[in-house]
């Protein structure tokens, strides 16, 4: 007798994929040799795509399917195989989230956007550069590694074209295009929860507990095992801040290119008015409060229309 799968659900659906989970209620008298999920785009066609899932030893199995097309309807179901045959769950119909572009009227630059849950996020870092600040300044707009005085020259830098600009906090509040805004801490938390992070993971800053979720947000070009299932496409653009190492006697203003992405939020603490920020690195996602004169990347979130 094939296995019985009475329960199947979707934890989240994003532009590039979905997270599926299911349970087996009856092994059918034989050991399970494989379990997973299969999907297709044509309801009348046979299933031709499938992915083996991991299980927790308690008849529960789960996986994230990625590499799907945005704004596309899929038909999905769970399966489990024993020596007697294959058991299936009910089939579910889902539609992946949408993507698109918009143009910033201030400088004509076109940006990608992506829907994640009920939010619409820029899918690349803001690169609005009306002026360039001295790289030794505490506040302003910076381009990683650029130490000159010309905004036009800075725009030709590889770092600008790849990672956009780094903004001090006060400036970050002012630079999002019309119809978009700097996200607050609650909006970052909404994003984190949608991709499966628990409150414990969000508030205790334990990167190693959310490495899988951080991979959902990282660009496929990020070093490591990122899958970018959300198409948020974060890149490790580093940060700007004066740092002096007394042991080496070296002073740096640009740090962590290739290892971390750092994003501002508009929210500050009641205790000391320090702004919250979100950091992605090789260990996961962390949420900090920090000084306002750091230079971080900006991801704008779209203003929601009134109901």
Beta bridge partners of residue 120, listed in sequence order: 115
pLDDT given for residue 106 in this prediction: 97
Q: What is the mean pLDDT of residues 61-80?
A: 96
Share of the chain above pLDDT 70, in %: 97
Q: Where are the domains of the chain?
A: 7-95, 99-302
The confidence band for 305, taking pLDDT boundaries of 50, 70 and 90, is low
The confidence band for 250, taking pLDDT boundaries of 50, 70 and 90, is confident
Count other Cβ atoms within 10 Å, centred on residue 207: 16
The C-alpha atoms of residue 273 and residue 62 are separated, in whole angstroms, by: 41
The confidence band for 58, taking pLDDT boundaries of 50, 70 and 90, is confident
Q: Is the pTM of this model over 0.75?
A: yes
pLDDT given for residue 222 in this prediction: 93
At 115-151, the pLDDT tens digits run: 999 999 999 999 999 999 999 999 999 999 999 999 9
Structure tokens at 300: 């704008």
Are the beta carbons of 121 and 135 closer than 8 angstroms? no
SS3 category, 166: strand
Are the beta carbons of 4 and 49 closer than 8 angstroms? no
The C-alpha atoms of residue 65 and residue 208 are separated, in whole angstroms, by: 22
pLDDT given for residue 163 in this prediction: 98
Are the beta carbons of 89 and 22 closer than 8 angstroms? yes
pLDDT given for residue 175 in this prediction: 98
73 vs 198, residue with greater confidence: 73
Report which of 114, 112, 100 is spatially closest to residue 13, judged by C-alpha positions. Answer: 114
Residue for token digits 């066609």?
45
Confidence check: pLDDT of 303 > 60: yes
For residue 196, with 0-12 CB atoms within 10 Å meaning exposed, 13-18 middle and 19 or more buried, which class applies?
middle
In whole numbers, what is the pLDDT of the chain averaged over residues? 93
Strands 250-257 and 237-245: antiparallel
pLDDT given for residue 165 in this prediction: 98
pLDDT given for residue 306 in this prediction: 42
Structure tokens at 88: 């299936």
At 198-228, the pLDDT tens digits run: 888 887 765 556 777 899 999 999 988 789 9
pLDDT given for residue 24 in this prediction: 94
For residue 200, with 0-12 CB atoms within 10 Å meaning exposed, 13-18 middle and 19 or more buried, which class applies?
exposed
Out of 2.60.40.10, 1.10.3720.10, 3.30.1300.10, 3.60.15.10, which CATH number does the structure's domain 7-95 have?
2.60.40.10
Least confident of 1-10, 154-163, 208-217: 208-217
């Amino acid at each position: 007798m094939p296995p019985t799968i009475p329960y199947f659900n979707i934890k989240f659906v994003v532009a590039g994929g979905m997270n599926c989970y299911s349970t087996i209620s009856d092994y059918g008298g034989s050991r399970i040799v494989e379990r997973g999920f299969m999907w297709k785009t044509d309801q009348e066609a046979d299933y031709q795509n499938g992915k083996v899932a991991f299980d927790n030893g308690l008849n529960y199995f789960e996986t994230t399917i990625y590499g799907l097309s945005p704004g596309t309807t899929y038909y999905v179901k769970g399966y489990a195989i024993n020596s007697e045959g294959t058991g299936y769950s009910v089939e579910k119909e889902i539609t992946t989230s949408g993507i698109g572009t918009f143009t910033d009227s201030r400088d004509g630059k076109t940006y990608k956007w992506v829907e994640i849950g009920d939010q619409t996020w820029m899918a690349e870092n803001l690169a609005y550069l009306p002026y360039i600040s001295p790289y030794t300044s505490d506040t302003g707009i910076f381009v990683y590694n650029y130490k000159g005085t010309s905004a036009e020259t800075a725009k030709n830098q590889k770092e600008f074209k790849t990672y956009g600009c780094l903004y001090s906090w006060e400036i970050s509040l002012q630079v999002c295009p019309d119809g978009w805004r700097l996200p607050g801490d609650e909006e970052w938390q909404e994003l984190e929860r949608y991709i499966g992070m628990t409150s414990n993971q969000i508030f205790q800053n334990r990167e190693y507990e959310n490495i899988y979720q951080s991979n959902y947000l990282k660009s496929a070009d990020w070093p490591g095992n990122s899958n970018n299932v959300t198409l948020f496409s974060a890149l490790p653009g580093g940060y700007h801040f004066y740092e002096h190492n007394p042991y080496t006697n070296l002073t740096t203003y640009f740090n962590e290119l290739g290892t971390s992405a750092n994003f501002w939020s508009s929210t500050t603490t009641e205790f000391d008015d320090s702004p919250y920020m979100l950091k992605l690195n090789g260990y996961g996602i962390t949420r900090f409060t920090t000084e306002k004169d750091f230079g971080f990347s900006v991801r704008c979130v779209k203003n929601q229309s009134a109901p």
